[in-house]
Amino acid sequence: MKGIQFDPVKDGFYGTWYENPKGSDCAMIGLFGDDPNDYMAKCGAKWLHKQGVNCMAMSPGKKDYSHVNCPLERIETAINWLKGHGNKKIGIMGMSTAGMHSLVAASFFSDITLTFGITASDFVWQGFEQGKKDGCKEWPVPNASTLSWNGEPLPYMPFVYKHPEYWQKIQEETKGSGDFIRSSNLFIDSEKARPHTEEEMIKIENINGKLILIGADDDGLWEAGKYVRRMDERLKSRPHKCEYEAVAYKYGTHFVLPEGLLRIAMPVGLKFILRFMFKSAKEHPNECEETRRDIDRRLSKALKEWKT
C-alpha cells in the first residue's frame, strides 16, 4: 500500500496520504502510532477506505512515539493541504496518547467536524521520550509538554515520578499483572499529587461537529473509562458546539479499536493474540470482542452520517 509522503521540514508535517481508490471528498487524519508508513497505519487507512473516506496518516516523527512539544501547527498544515486537494470534510481519529492529541487538535481547529478520541485523557500530559536511556525505555522530559502552540508548550499535568523512577514504576506495576505493560499507577499517583489546573484540561467544548469518546474500565495503561465519564460531565456542565457520544465500556482493554480494523491487522487469531497481551482479554474474551464490535458499528455509523 503506497501513499504520498510528507516531510516536516519540506512540507510542514510528517505524514502519508492514502487516497481512497474509489474516490472521496472526505478525509480523516489518522494518528495511528509510531509512523504513518508502518503496518498499523496502513491497516487504519484500509479500514477508513472501507468506510468510504480518504486517510492522512500522521505521527510526530519517523519511527518515533516520543511526544515532546509536538507542534499543533502540523495538524493545521495538514488540514490546509487536505482542503486544497478536494476534501470538503475533515475529521481526526487517534488512540492512546494520540487520542489525547486528536482531542486537542479538534478543540483548536474548527475545520475538523468529526473526532474520535479512543482511550484519550481529558488533560494534556508532560512530554516524554521513548528509546534507551539508563536501562529505561521511556522517560519524562523536564519542562516540556506533549504538545505546543506558537512555539510554547501547552499547559500539562506533570508526572509525579522523574527519570529513572518513572520507568521503574511502570515495570513494577507490569510485573506479574498479566498485561504486556501497565502504567495506570503513574497517572493515578500524578493526579493525587496535585489537582488538575483548568489550563491543562482539554477544551472539548470547543470541538465542532460530531465527537465520540471511547474508553474501557479495564484499561491498564490509564483510567480511560474514568476520563470518558469526566469528559461527559464537563460537556454536560457547560455550553458546547458538538453532538457527542461518551462511552465507557466495562471490558475492552487498551485496544478498544474497531473490530474490523483489528481484523485487518490480525486476520487470524485475534482473540488468541490479545489474551497474551492483556489479562482482561484472557478472562473476558467475548466481552472484549463485543466491545470492539460495538465500537466498529458506532464509528462506522458516524462516518456514514458525516459523509452524507
What pLDDT does 12 receive? 95
pLDDT in tens, 275-302: 999 999 999 999 999 999 999 999 999 9
67 pLDDT band, cuts 50/70/90, is very high
Q: What is the DSSP letter of 61?
A: B
Reply yes or no on whether the pLDDT at 64 is more than 90: no
Section 157-184 average pLDDT: 98
* Mean per-residue pLDDT of the chain: 96
What pLDDT does 229 receive? 98
Q: What is the DSSP letter of 23?
A: -
61 pLDDT band, cuts 50/70/90, is confident
Q: Assess contact for 27 and 53: CB atoms under 8 A.
A: yes
Whole-angstrom distance, CA of residue 227 vs CA of residue 121? 6
What pLDDT does 3 receive? 94
Q: Assess contact for 191 and 96: CB atoms under 8 A.
A: no
Amino acid at 119: T
Section 3-21 average pLDDT: 96
Section 139-165 average pLDDT: 98
129 pLDDT band, cuts 50/70/90, is very high
What pLDDT does 2 receive? 84
Whole-angstrom distance, CA of residue 251 vs CA of residue 10? 43
pLDDT in tens, 71-115: 999 999 999 999 999 999 999 999 999 999 999 999 999 999 999
What pLDDT does 90 receive? 98
Reply yes or no on whether the pLDDT at 172 is more than 90: yes
What pLDDT does 60 receive? 85
Q: Is 131 left (phi over 0), alpha (psi -120 to 50) or beta?
A: left
Whole-angstrom distance, CA of residue 101 vs CA of residue 93? 9
CATH of 4-129+142-154+197-307, one of 3.40.470.10, 3.40.50.1820, 3.40.225.10, 3.20.20.70: 3.40.50.1820
Grid cell 490509564 in the structure block, residue: 222
